[in-house]
């Protein structure tokens, strides 16, 4: 393998996704070609309903494409079993959702430990790594708090810590600031930029032009197609 293929984390070729709801078929993605390299911070923008979340689900292996070729970290995703997909999600992808999606009945620490439980990390190491990660997002004093005892911004920081727990190849965030006020949203955005500067690969879906400007590359989607794909000044 050459250096360039090694750097390629996401490779999508002619990806289509059709939702078949029985009565109607919705073609959410109509042939996506997208490559993302290690260390990029990509913002995906576009109007509501344009297919951003669908794309994100495919990238994160939460769903499989109707047709097309998809490789993550050089591994083809077509034809793998449900359990193998679960393993890919566990090791290669870290998700951050708009609705946080923390488990409400367990503590922040336990939430961050969860992916490591699935990834067969030893209990002592889980604990250690989870508290370090929470410390890093500024929640070192909230380890034993339940999500309901945290603010929205704090919950999203727990979610980011959880996304980083398995040292994934790529962090995927679907409108991570959509449920936050602008100050909390700014904090979250700064955490992502910090992570990027530390060398992580990040894909963020966002409506907010102020946020997309911080990315190294902006991909615009309209009606299931990529209409523009540009590097920003900051990246240069």
Ligand X SMILES: Nc1ncnc2c1ncn2[C@@H]1O[C@H](COP(=O)(O)OP(=O)(O)O)[C@@H](O)[C@H]1O
Site residues for other proteins per CB under 8 A: 53, 57, 60, 62-63, 82-83, 86-87, 89-91, 95, 97-99, 101-106, 110, 114-115, 117-120, 162, 166, 174-175, 178
Among Mg ion, other proteins, ligand X, none, residue 129 binds (CB under 5-8 Å by kind): none
Q: How many helices (H) and strands (E) does the chain have?
A: 8, 10
Number of residues that bind Mg ion (CB under 5 A): 1
What is the spatial distance between Cα 229 and Cα 176, in angstroms, rounded to a whole number? 21
Minimum CB separation of residue 86 from other proteins in Å reads 5
Question: In the complex, what is the shortest distance from the CB of residue 49 to ligand X, in angstroms, rounded to a whole number?
Answer: 4
Tell whether residue 48 is a contact of ligand X (CB under 6 A).
Answer: yes
**50 binds ligand X per the rule CB under 6 A:** yes
Question: From CA 188, how far away is CA 174, in angstroms rounded?
Answer: 13
Told to check if 206 binds Mg ion by CB under 5 A, we report: no
Measured from the CB atom, is 110 or 217 closer to other proteins?
110
C-alpha 103: how far from its chain's center?
18
118 contact, one of ligand X, Mg ion, other proteins, none, CB 5-8 Å limit per kind: other proteins
Verify binding: residue 28, ligand X, rule CB under 6 A. yes
Quote the CA–CA distance of 124 and 118 in Å, as a whole number. Answer: 14
**Residue 49 binding result from other proteins, Mg ion, ligand X, none, given CB thresholds of 5 to 8 Å by partner type:** ligand X
Neighbouring-strand partners of residue 205: 44, 174
DSSP state of 165: T
Q: Which is nearer to other proteins, 3 or 83 (CB)?
A: 83
Of the two residues 115 and 224, which places its CB atom closer to ligand X in the complex? 224
The C-alpha atoms of residue 183 and residue 209 are separated, in whole angstroms, by 16
Six-digit token string for 223: 């009606």
Nearer to ligand X, 46 or 176 (CB): 46
- Can you tell me the distance from the alpha carbon of 137 to that of 160, in angstroms, rounded to the nearest whole number? 8
Beta sheet of 202-205, edge-to-edge order: 93-96, 170-174, 202-205, 41-45, 217-222, 225-231
Contact set with ligand X (CB under 6 A): 19, 21, 26, 28, 46, 48-54
């Amino acid at each position: 393998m050459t250096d360039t293929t090694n750097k390629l984390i996401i490779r999508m070729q002619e990806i289509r996704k059709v939702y078949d709801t029985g009565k109607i078929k919705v073609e959410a993605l109509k042939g996506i070609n997208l490559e993302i390299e290690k260390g990029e911070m990509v913002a995906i923008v576009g109007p509501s309903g344009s297919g951003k979340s669908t794309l994100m689900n495919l990238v994160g292996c939460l769903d499989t494409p109707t047709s097309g070729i998809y490789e993550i970290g050089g591994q083809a995703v077509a034809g793998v079993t449900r359990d193998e997909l679960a393993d890919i999600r566990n090791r290669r992808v870290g998700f951050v959702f708009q609705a946080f999606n923390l488990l409400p009945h367990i503590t922040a620490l336990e939430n961050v430990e969860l992916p490591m439980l699935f990834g067969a990390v030893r209990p002592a190491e889980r604990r250690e790594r989870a508290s370090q990660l929470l410390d890093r997002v500024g929640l070192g004093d909230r380890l034993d708090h339940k999500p309901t005892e945290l603010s929205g911004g704090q919950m999203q920081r727990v979610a980011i810590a959880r996304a980083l727990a398995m040292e994934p190849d790529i962090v995927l965030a679907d409108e991570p600031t959509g449920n936050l006020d602008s100050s909390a949203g700014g904090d979250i955005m700064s955490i992502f930029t910090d992570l990027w500067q530390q060398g992580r690969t990040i894909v963020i879906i966002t409506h907010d032009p102020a946020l997309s400007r911080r990315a190294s590359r902006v991909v615009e989607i309209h009606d299931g197609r990529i209409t523009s794909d540009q590097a920003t000044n900051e990246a240069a």
